[in-house]
Amino acid sequence: MLLDTERGALTRALEIAGDPVVPLGPNPRVGCVLLSPAGEVLAEGRHRGAGTAHAEAAALAAARSADISVVGATAVVTLEPCSHVGRTGPCADALISAGIARVVVARRDPNPVAAGGIERLRAAGIEVELGIDEDLAAAAAALNRGWEHGLQHARPLVTAKIALTLDGRAAAADGTSQWITGPAAREEVHLLRTTCDAVLVGTGTARTDHPTLTARRSDGTLHPRQPLRAVMGTGTAPSLPAVDGAGEELRLLTHDPSAALETLFERGVRHVLVEGGPVVTGAFLRAGLVDELIVHLAPTLLGAGRPAVEDLSIATLADRLDLDLVEVAPLPSSGGPTDLRITLRPRPRTA
């Protein structure tokens, strides 16, 4: 059974694991909090990226540096302690050697190479608590959903974001598109960018809109975590605007979404936000490579103009692309029309 002190420690472990200073990419984000037998916080640690100490090792090191004994303590971790030797030693062995008596684990490690830590701990006589609070377990899964998707599919998780009117327009007849949705939707997009390794647009968007593809706070300053800025397409496009502190720019010289994702995956990208125009968004949807679609829907009509998605190669209703509705939420409004955020998951097409 999960104690109240352990529930609080796990909430804290999730918080430090997701801190903006922690890089995204090919390694999971993990947090660890060490509790005394009385439930007092002794030390905490988090994994800071490839080649750095794992969360458990960082927490143990913090306790040692403060001359704090952890014998008989409880380790609360967001992901199963690893049992393999990589750039660092097995975290399960480190906990055993330190004299930890109990380990609370939010989520099993889905990586078969690293899994097995729970069994290793139990074999050493350490009590392990798994199958905890559902909300905290879901938060632990959400923390590394791009990383877990990469393990399962060997490609990045793809979130596509579009803004459109009630009649499905992404721009007016004269090409103007700024701004279809209101400030709250734009602020959400900046926050969404901080959760992704890369933001991808096509050459058309880069040429027409000159986007910076940065993640900014509500006050306009850059967020500590900036995504890779990727431009896809074989056509010519100007360089993205130079912004101090912005993510690296990458040109993907292909029209093939699969090839683009392969290149990004090789660079350590595990979650891509597709913010391209109708052509690029349509290409990813047509290829069946959109895992999540976020629609910012403005309560307005244009009657004409550019559609939000280009040709999907659908000639008859029977071939339509259906989507499952995940969430619908109104966005905050300061007196103007209230936009909606609609989150959807495309269904696999049946043969």
CA distance 236 to 280: 15
What are the backbone dihedrals phi and psi of residue 328, each rounded to the nearest 5 degrees, phi first? -130, 125
Q: Which of 56, 80, 148, 188 is catalytic?
A: 56
pLDDT of residue 87: 63
- Consult the annotation and say whether 5 binds a ligand: no
Domain boundary residue, one of 87, 120, 148: 148
For the chain, the average pLDDT equals 90
- Consult the annotation and say whether 269 binds a ligand: no
Q: Which of 11, 14, 64 is nearest to 42 (CA)?
A: 64
pLDDT of residue 88: 66
Are residues 340 and 293 in contact, defined by beta-carbon separation less than 8 angstroms? no
More confident site: 130 or 290 = 290
Same-domain check for residues 103 and 225: no
pTM: 0.90
pLDDT of residue 307: 87
- Consult the annotation and say whether 302 binds a ligand: no
Q: How are the residues of the chain apportioned to helix, strand and coil, as percentages rounded to the nearest 5?
A: 30, 20, 50
CB-side neighbour CA atoms (13 Å) of 123 = 8
Q: Name the 3-class secondary structure at 30.
A: coil
Same-domain check for residues 181 and 63: no
pLDDT of residue 145: 93
CA distance 162 to 292: 11
Residue-range definition of the domain harbouring residue 209: 155-346
CA distance 126 to 132: 17
Q: What is the mean pLDDT of residues 260-271?
A: 96
Are residues 342 and 324 in contact, defined by beta-carbon separation less than 8 angstroms? no
pLDDT of residue 332: 85
Q: For 136-162, what is each residue's pLDDT tens digit?
A: 889 999 999 999 999 999 999 999 999
The Cβ of residue 248 has, within 10 Å, a number of other Cβ atoms equal to: 11
Domain boundary residue, one of 148, 181, 198: 148
Q: For 9-55, what is each residue's pLDDT tens digit?
A: 999 999 999 888 777 888 899 999 999 999 999 999 999 877 788 99
Same-domain check for residues 98 and 115: yes
- Consult the annotation and say whether 31 binds a ligand: no
Same-domain check for residues 254 and 118: no
- Consult the annotation and say whether 177 binds a ligand: yes
Within 53-181, strands assigned E span 74-77, 102-105, 127-129, 157-165
More confident site: 302 or 165 = 165
Tell how far CA 270 is from the center of its chain: 8
Based on the structure, what is the number of domains in the chain?
A: 2
Q: What is the mean pLDDT of residues 116-126?
A: 93
Tell me, yes or no, if 40 is annotated catalytic: no
Same-domain check for residues 27 and 82: yes
- Consult the annotation and say whether 196 binds a ligand: no
**H or E element that contains 92:** helix 91-98
Instruction: Report the sign of the C-alpha dihedral through residues 218, 222, 227, 229, in that order.
Output: positive
pLDDT of residue 235: 79
Q: Per-residue DSSP letters for 284-341? A: HHHTT--SEEEEEEES---SSS-BSS------SGGG---EEEEEEEEPP-SSS---EE
pLDDT at 80 over 90: yes
